[in-house]
Every structure is written in C-alpha cells, then in structure tokens.
C-alpha cells in the first residue's frame, strides 16, 4: 500500500508523513531528501544547478541510499549537509532537469515496490504513484510556511531573515508549479489539507483517521 502526501515547501509534509508512517506501521520514503542529495552533489562539485547538461552528468555519476534515518550519497553520510539553505535552494532547480526527475522517479518506484510506504513530495500522487490507495495534498499560508522553514533552519544552527525565507518560498512555489516535468499539482482524487493554524498532532490525527477509513483498519496496524 502507498499513501502519498504532496504539497508546497513548508506545509509540513515530511514531519506529517514520518509520524503517519509510525502510527500505521508503514515505512517512510523521504523523496525530498533524494533531490536534496542530488543538489548537494552539485554544490559539492561546484556544478551550476542551472546547467542541465552538467546536472545530468552529476546525477548519472552518483548513487543514493537510505540507511535507517540517514541518507548516503556515494557512500558518504550527507544527512545534515543536504538540509543546508544552499542545498535546499538548489534542490528545486535540479528537480526540473528531466534526467534528474527520471532517475528519482525510478528510484522511488523501485524503493516502494512490495512495501507499505508513506511517501511525500511534489508529484507523488499525481505522477509517481498515480494508483496509490490514499492521497493527500498539504498546504498552508505562505507566511506560516516561511516561519516554519525559518524555525527549521534555526534549529540546525543556521540563520536567516523571514523576508528572505518568504521570498524563497514564493520563488520555489512558482518553479515547482511551472516546470514541465512533475509539476506541483494536486491529484484529482487527493484530499486537500490546510495545515495553517493546526498543530502537527491535529494534522496527523486527521491523516491517520482518513487513511484508516480509506484503506480499512484490518489492513493497518493499530497506533
């Protein structure tokens, strides 16, 4: 079984997906980390993320693996590095490169085959797993998403101004929605969830309740 959670940056997808997976006894597929790993590799190799040819060569030369809560790029643990502001910014740029998206979609489908997964991203329900049994689309007010992202950066010891983070959020939304391959779009059969003003517990409670109703509690673990 596959449960997909899509939505823009800062809507709370990763945290909600991870907690929902724990409650249901599913595995969590962090697709955003995959794109961030590609972006980190480009930054590390001084590859311009806007240079599609160079980015395509980079993604063809790296391997990405998950080990527990860690993500490895060519065997190197980059779990912390991929969360830097620079890698985050580059991630949405390299994600528009066809070769990157094709490889990431292949890895995502390969990883999920034969497993119960909660997966989050931009196009999980609309393109990667269009036949998934349960789909959600999380969103929130841009200002609130910017505040959440800034808190996330500060928790990692990074600094930033709320105005800059908000501008990055707005720019990323535009890039994600306008790209030709795998654009940010809500699947027709997805349940939209506005997380503005809600705690993560309230959001996950709704996701769990809806998932159990759609999938059938007999097929899921008790939380």
pLDDT-wise least confident of 12-26, 46-60, 128-142, 152-166: 152-166
C-alpha dihedral (172, 174, 179, 181), degrees to nearest 10: 70
Identify whether 186 is part of a domain. Answer: yes
The domain tally of the chain equals 1
Which residue range is the domain that position 8 belongs to? 2-213
Flag whether 86 is in a domain. yes
Kindly state whether residue 21 falls inside one of the protein's structural domains: yes
pLDDT one-digit tens code per residue, 138-157: 999 999 999 988 888 888 78
Q: What is the pLDDT of residue 220?
A: 62
In a domain, 222, yes or no: no
The helix/strand/coil state of 87 is: helix
Using alpha carbons only, what angle is made at residue 136 by residues 187 and 196, rounded to the nearest 5 degrees? 115
HSE toward the beta carbon, residue 221, CA cutoff 13 A = 10
Structural element, H or E, at residue 21: helix 13-24
Selection from 220, 29, 186 nearest residue 113 by Cα: 29
The pLDDT value recorded for residue 26 is 96
Residue identified by tokens 């990667």 is 128
**In a domain? residue 219:** no
pLDDT one-digit tens code per residue, 120-135? 998 999 999 999 989 9
pLDDT in tens, 78-92: 999 998 888 888 998
| More confident position, 155 or 21 | 21
pLDDT value at 222 more than 70: no
Residue 109 clears pLDDT 80, i.e. is over it: yes
Answer whether residue 128 is part of any domain: yes
pLDDT above 70: percentage of residues in the chain: 97
Mean pLDDT score, 1-17: 92
CATH code for the domain in which residue 46 is found: 3.40.50.300
Question: Is 220 contained in some domain?
Answer: no
Q: Is residue 204 part of a domain?
A: yes
């Amino acid at each position: 079984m596959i449960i997909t959670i899509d939505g823009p940056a800062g809507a709370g997808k990763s945290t909600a997906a991870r907690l929902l997976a724990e409650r249901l006894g599913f595995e969590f597929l962090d697709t955003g980390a995959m794109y961030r790993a590609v972006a980190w590799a480009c930054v590390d190799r001084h590859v311009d993320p806007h240079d599609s040819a160079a980015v395509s060569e980079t993604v063809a030369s790296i391997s990405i693996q998950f080990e527990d809560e860690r993500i490895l790029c060519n065997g190197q643990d980059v779990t912390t590095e991929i969360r830097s502001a620079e890698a985050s910014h580059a991630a949405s740029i390299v994600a528009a490169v066809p070769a990157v998206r094709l490889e990431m979609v292949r890895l995502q489908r390969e990883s999920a085959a034969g497993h119960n997964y909660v997966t989050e991203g931009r196009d999980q329900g609309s393109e990667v797993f269009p036949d998934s049994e349960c789909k959600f689309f999380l969103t929130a007010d841009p200002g609130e998403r910017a505040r959440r992202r800034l808190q996330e950066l500060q928790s990692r010891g990074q600094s930033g101004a709320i105005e800059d983070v908000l501008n990055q959020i707005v720019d990323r939304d535009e890039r994600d929605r306008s790209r030709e391959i795998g654009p940010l779009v809500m699947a027709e059969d997805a349940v939209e969830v506005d997380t503005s003003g809600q705690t993560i517990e309230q959001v996950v409670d709704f996701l769990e309740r809806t998932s159990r109703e759609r999938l059938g509690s007999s097929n899921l673990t008790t939380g």
